[in-house]
Amino acid sequence: ETGVTQSPTHLIKTRGQQVTLRCSSQSGHNTVSWYQQALGQGPQFIFQYYREEENGRGNFPPRFSGLQFPNYSSELNVNALELDDSALYLCASSLGPTSNEQFFGPGTRLTVL
């Protein structure tokens, strides 16, 4: 059974650019949640996707958007990058939107210069 994978591992962008991060969910999982973890802080919920629809969103501006595909993989897109967007971006998949346990990937480290 393949776990949650994320790509790329590391990424460097400049302010104002756009970025796309990718996540492959664990086999059989139809729900994906994205989190932002700034240095020294805990993960902060961005949004959740269930069966290709957004199913809950945290306190993030509209320039953070996402997609979920029919195979339940997901993308996180961030437009107009700001310096404060520098963080570890974590993707987590689960069996359903009310599942007890979320399985996290290793994350993508984004640096905005």
What is the binding site for other proteins (CB under 8 A)? Answer: 4, 31, 33, 35, 40-45, 48, 55-56, 58, 90, 92, 94, 96-107
CB of 66 vs other proteins, minimal distance in Å: 15
CB of 14 vs other proteins, minimal distance in Å: 25
| Start-to-end C-alpha separation, the chain | 37
User: Which is nearer to other proteins, 17 or 52 (by Cβ)?
Assistant: 52
Phi, psi of 84 (to 5 degrees): -70, -10
Look at the block and give the residue holding tokens 């802080």.
41
CB of 33 vs other proteins, minimal distance in Å: 8
User: Which is nearer to other proteins, 34 or 80 (by Cβ)?
Assistant: 34
Cβ-contact 96, 48 below 8 angstroms: no
Question: With the C-alpha atoms ordered 59, 61, 76, 54, is the resulting torsion angle positive or negative?
Answer: positive
Cβ-contact 19, 81 below 8 angstroms: yes
User: Which is nearer to other proteins, 84 or 101 (by Cβ)?
Assistant: 101
User: Which is nearer to other proteins, 61 or 106 (by Cβ)?
Assistant: 106
Cβ-contact 19, 13 below 8 angstroms: yes
CB of 50 vs other proteins, minimal distance in Å: 9
